[in-house]
Structure 1
Amino acid sequence: MEGLRLTEYAGGGGCACKLPPGELDGLVGGLAEGPARPAAELLLGLAGGGDDAAVVALDGERALVTTADFFTPVVNDPYDWGRIAAANALSDVYAMGGTPWAAVNLLAWPRDLLPMEVAAEVLRGGRDVAHEAACHVSGGHSVTGPEPLYGMSVVGVVDRARMMRLDAARPGMPLTLTKPLGTGVLNARHKSTGEVFEQAVASMTALNRDASGAAVAAGIRAGTDVTGFGLLGHAYKLARASGVTVTLDAGAVPYLPGAREAVRDGFVSGGTRRNLEWVAPHTDFAGVPEEARLLLADAQTSGGLLLAGEIPGHPVVGEVTAAGPTAVVVRG
């Protein structure tokens, strides 16, 4: 597998290949929440503002969290891609304050173009990260496809009284970000040049488990993970669901080494530009330059958590305020 450029087999890369957020809003906006006579109570779904996972009541204290996530190769190394995709899928459960229990693989493979041995490395990477999370991996589903896709469907459990959600942010709460931004622009550079950014791989393969646990212990009940819609997009979704304004301090947001240089050199994905176009009508940028706007909208893969609250060891990047003229305000 030496010299393999896995990203060359994909039109997009990681969470940057998501459908544009505005189009996605229109696509799911008219869907019904469930059957006329559901077998269990749906605690969170489409009506909650687009939370990271669906949550269904198990009993008076616990609820089931279910999610699925998959994408095209974001790096050239198949084992690392598997690890990143698994961490990204598991993150949806952590974003709700839950614990992943079991996962199944989702795989599409161009078997006439890429050896099955490469697919085996992808699955091995996913398994290893799931096992790191103490989550079972059992089987899954695979199809032949024109480009490689990999991810997981994950089921977990959450304490109903301690669940995190999009619509629970209130004025006066600080905003914490648990991973630096920049994976999108660094992945775009990696796809174009083959240059490996170990700091980006380390960030994308890191589980959000500890940050989630710290948030739940601190009593935080509002949050989301930062993935394909960028920090701005996910901040907007949080503000919209909670009926508040989210104010971000651009100077307090951490970035991976090399991220700013990647933007200046033009390694910006179409997904990032679509994110910025989507949030711009709902954002007061107060003179913040284009480079900073693109970084704040950068389509992240397996990003950190954006929390309405504060936990030790992670930067506060803004605050929740009462609803104003725009859903998001960015201070320089």
Structure 2
Amino acid sequence: MTPRERIRLTQYAHGGGCACKIPPGELEDVLQGLGRGVRVRDPAGELLVGLDDGDDATVVGLSEDLAVLATTDFFPPVVDDPYDWGRIAATNALSDVYATGGRPLMALNLLGWPRGVLPFELAREVLRGGLAVAAEAGCHVAGGHSVDDPEPKYGMAVTGLVDPDRVLRNDAGKPGVPLSLTKPIGIGVLNSRHKATGEVFPQAVRAMTQLNREPAAAALAAGVVCATDVTGFGLLGHAFKLARASGVTALIDSAAVPCLDGARQALRDGYVSGGTQRNLEWVRPHSDLSAVTEEEALLLADAQTSGGLLVAGEIPGAPVVGELVPRGEHVLVVR
């Protein structure tokens, strides 16, 4: 039996994937007072998207028709297979580029590894998985940075290019626009079950390793200007951020939201991460959740890893899961 077959990587992580994000409310407290970030007067480029509304990537305009974007993402193992973990982490890091309407150009690996505890054979497999996804995306990978870390972590820092007139933002939503979701939810509860039991869920791995390239291209082709990706803050958290930034209310039709096979059973069996519970508590004071059960609300708040795009508009193949309406008493309404 090889080390890859013996070792369950998720047992070396305190949490799983994007569920390990700092809770959104706590993160906003940390960022409070930092304003719009550091903006310098530089004739080479203007900061177009920064800290303002917690958008998916930073965008700096270089010319009238070219801007550069940058983002980074990394997390502890979300699955036990090292190659799949590498693929998932890379897909997740690239997602912020697509969610902003850009195309990835270059990525740098970010690796934390408990040397002396886990064999480097596994680290090689993680990096190989990341390289495979980058190749699929047409993105260069050249080096990166590694540290000796008591907990394994992997991700990428990604640089991309985007047309400054076609940036997808989370603050550009308008009343009367439908909301579409490009991947089913339920990744978080299935990953929690995997971590606890060792059961493997290929449907979750397929979802997490599916690039958001095609739906992003479809959104741009449809003239969409507002989108975000659905990751650690769950569908409710990211819909709340989009609606709040846009000055509208997001109506979510819970019956229209697609869900991965096995996710509802995992939820009923209690495989709910702390990150999901914190997501729900964060949006609850600003939401009307009276039309759904607590179980349904938890599923809608499920912390996703490498989830789909939430698009303010209709695109082929993506179900409409709600709409944006004029701001009312609540920022988020689930029906």
The aligned residue for residue 135 of structure 2 is 131
The aligned residue for residue 37 of structure 1 is 41
1:214-233 to 2 correspondence within 5 Å?
A: 214-233=218-237
Deviation at 1:322, TM superposition (A): 0.2
SS of residue paired to 1:167:
coil
Rounded to whole Å, the distance in 2 between the matches of 1:312 and 1:53 is 25
Say whether residues 1:311 and 2:315 are aligned partners.
yes
SS of residue paired to 2:183:
coil
1:324 alignment partner, one of 322, 328, 331: 328
1:243 alignment partner, one of 225, 229, 247: 247
**For residues 6-28 of structure 1, what are the alpha-carbon distances to aligned partners after superposition, in whole Å with 9 as ceiling and x for unaligned?**
00000011000000000001111
Deviation at 1:37, TM superposition (A): 3.1
Rounded to whole Å, the distance in 1 between the matches of 2:95 and 2:199 is 26
Please tell me whether the aligned partners of residues 109 and 141 of structure 2 are also in contact (alpha carbons under 8 angstroms).
Answer: yes
1:8 alignment partner, one of 8, 11, 16: 11
Structure 1 unaligned segments of length 5 or more: list them. Answer: none
Deviation at 1:36, TM superposition (A): 4.4
The aligned residue for residue 168 of structure 2 is 164
Structure 2 unaligned segments of length 5 or more: list them. Answer: none
Rounded to whole Å, the distance in 2 between the matches of 1:293 and 1:172 is 24
SS of residue paired to 2:241:
helix
1:90-169 to 2 correspondence within 5 Å?
A: 90-169=94-173
The aligned residue for residue 18 of structure 1 is 21
AA paired with 2:136?
Answer: E
AA paired with 1:27?
Answer: V
Residues 321, 265 of structure 1: CA spacing in aligned structure 2 closer, same or farther, 3 A cutoff? same
Rounded to whole Å, the distance in 1 between the matches of 2:21 and 2:57 is 16
AA paired with 2:112?
Answer: A
The aligned residue for residue 77 of structure 2 is 73
The aligned residue for residue 282 of structure 1 is 286
Post-superposition, which runs of at least 4 consecutive aligned residues in structure 1 deviate over 6 A? none
Rounded to whole Å, the distance in 1 between the matches of 2:126 and 2:242 is 33
Rounded to whole Å, the distance in 2 between the matches of 1:36 and 1:210 is 35
The aligned residue for residue 190 of structure 2 is 186
Rounded to whole Å, the distance in 2 between the matches of 1:229 and 1:325 is 22
Deviation at 1:157, TM superposition (A): 0.6
Deviation at 1:2, TM superposition (A): 0.9
The aligned residue for residue 265 of structure 1 is 269
SS of residue paired to 1:164:
coil
AA paired with 1:13?
Answer: G
Rounded to whole Å, the distance in 2 between the matches of 1:199 and 1:29 is 39
The aligned residue for residue 67 of structure 2 is 63
**For residues 28-53 of structure 1, what are the alpha-carbon distances to aligned partners after superposition, in whole Å with 9 as ceiling and x for unaligned?**
12225214434520000112x11000
**For residues 171-224 of structure 1, what are the alpha-carbon distances to aligned partners after superposition, in whole Å with 9 as ceiling and x for unaligned?**
000000000000000000000000000000000000000000000000000010
- Identity in percent: 66
Rounded to whole Å, the distance in 1 between the matches of 2:257 and 2:78 is 23
Between 1:92-101 and 1:283-292, the stretch displaced more is 283-292
SS of residue paired to 1:129:
helix
Deviation at 1:4, TM superposition (A): 1.7
Rounded to whole Å, the distance in 2 between the matches of 1:180 and 1:98 is 23
Question: C-alpha root-mean-square deviation of aligned residues, in Å?
Answer: 0.8
Rounded to whole Å, the distance in 2 between the matches of 1:35 and 1:91 is 25
SS of residue paired to 1:76:
coil
Say whether residues 1:293 and 2:297 are aligned partners.
yes
Q: TM-score, normalised by structure 1?
A: 0.98
SS of residue paired to 2:151:
coil
Please tell me whether the aligned partners of residues 45 and 63 of structure 2 are also in contact (alpha carbons under 8 angstroms).
Answer: no
The total of aligned residue pairs comes to: 330
Please tell me whether the aligned partners of residues 39 and 47 of structure 2 are also in contact (alpha carbons under 8 angstroms).
Answer: no
SS of residue paired to 2:316:
coil
The aligned residue for residue 210 of structure 2 is 206
AA paired with 1:41?
Answer: E
Please tell me whether the aligned partners of residues 276 and 303 of structure 2 are also in contact (alpha carbons under 8 angstroms).
Answer: yes
